[in-house]
Chains A and B, each alone.
Chain A
Amino acid sequence: MALLELKGVDAAYGRIQALRKMSIDVNKGEVVALIGSNGAGKTTTLRTISGLMHPQAGTIGFDGRDITTTGPARIVALGICQSPEGRRLFPRMTVQDNLFMGAYSRNDKPGIASDMERVFTLFSRLRERRTQIAGTLSGGEQQMLAMGRALMARPKLLMLDEPSLGLAPILVETIFTIIREINSQGTTVLLVEQNAHKALEVAHRGYVLETGSIVKTGSGQELLASEDVQKAYLGM
């Protein structure tokens, strides 16, 4: 059974329809990539899953529960956490306090401490900068902190929105290596990316989103090889 399942989800900002009959599923242990151009509805999908907005139609199921109308705080507690687009750190708090905020829904002190250690092992730069104010970090460090902060919730499903946006090529490489590593440690990942090539390389499966609907799906390799995808998203 799928860990996350969206069935026929419609979502809108006011009168502007952003998602139409959107259906995806993510299985336990997978990396699933959601690719598409600007305004296709990728971020809206993640906002709807996180409960920041609620679907007008359709259902969202997670881990055997219906979370269609569940609020964002409860959804984090159930095991979905996202690193949002534009990183959205708490800019005037330290690196360490940002990570603590990621663990807000948890109360197990030893678990939080060991997860902090895990984050510092994944992102050693953050360990050096643990007392630095988040707003003064470099772009790459901020992205690492945003991912680390989401991991601190110990999510069953980690959602990453544009993790490579605005980063130098070498850092993009690092970020995707780390995504693989996070997945190999047992966390399911839903990845939203404009860098379709990188995303599909890492992903087990992918969905192509156009104007609010899924137009194509397949394994990462299949989509990479598909002519349509190559033309539209890979610039080939």
Chain B
Amino acid sequence: MHLWLWVLAFARTTLGPYIDRGATVTAETIIQSLASGLLMGLLYGLIAAGLALIFGLMDVVNFAHGEFLMIAMYVTFFLFAFFAIDPLLAAPLVAAALFVFGAVVYLLIVRFAMRAKANAGMVQIFSTFGLAIVMRGLAQFFFTPDYRSVTNSWVGGKTVSIAGIYLPEPQLIGAMLSIAAFVALYFFINRTDFGRALEATREDAGAVALVGIDKNRVFALGWGLGAALVGLAGAIMAIFFYIYPDVGASFALIAYVTVALGGFGSVFGAFAGGIIVGLVEATTALILPPSLKSVGIYAVYLLVVFIRPRGLFGSM
């Protein structure tokens, strides 16, 4: 009996914050946070789209994905600061810049990582992880570790009210862009010659070479395309998020989970994964302290893969 009381007291002092939360949750706050969760989820989908595309095509996980996002946000910031180009107008420019960057990264690094005869998986993980560290260092060197933000952009800080629910405009635009990007990606992969060439190269690079398709050219364009998608996401993120050299790290992990949740090998799994991640994050923030909101995402990932080891729509 005495021991039991002691255990209870111990639990209360150690776990207090997790137990004593008298949060007031109304129907309105639930709908409000689910709506913003959905928008954020679509944006997560857009961030993860490039990662899913690159994995789906080449079986390579880019551990510098978060740093691609970071670069995109900085490009947006500098276009705004020096040339007064609003992030919404800058988005295509940022995507173009990232396209070039992605293709160059493939040609300079990933191409060689894919040739590794031993430990191919580890070589890919650690060569892209090394690249991530270099990019963070370069960002610190050239841009300083200071936090920057885009102020007074067209839609920054504005909200629209739809049926009593307030939606932040940047996230709303990001969500619409995400849907548009996935639709475009669908047509691109399934309806164009280049999309088919990508698909075929993944299936059998040797056979593809026989019909005159250059594997490196196709993969470089694939990496460019993946990076361009992160570029779009970065332009939108720059409107409402601080920009600093380490900004990519937190989003990168969410992007990996999003892709894996949807299932590797399925670009559209990333779309579904993004929505789920956004909704779960919003729901967790209602139940647990906001600093624990990612716990919900991770727990759902584990739950899904324990039941379905290939993710929701994965092919491998």
- Whether both chains belong to one complex is answered with no
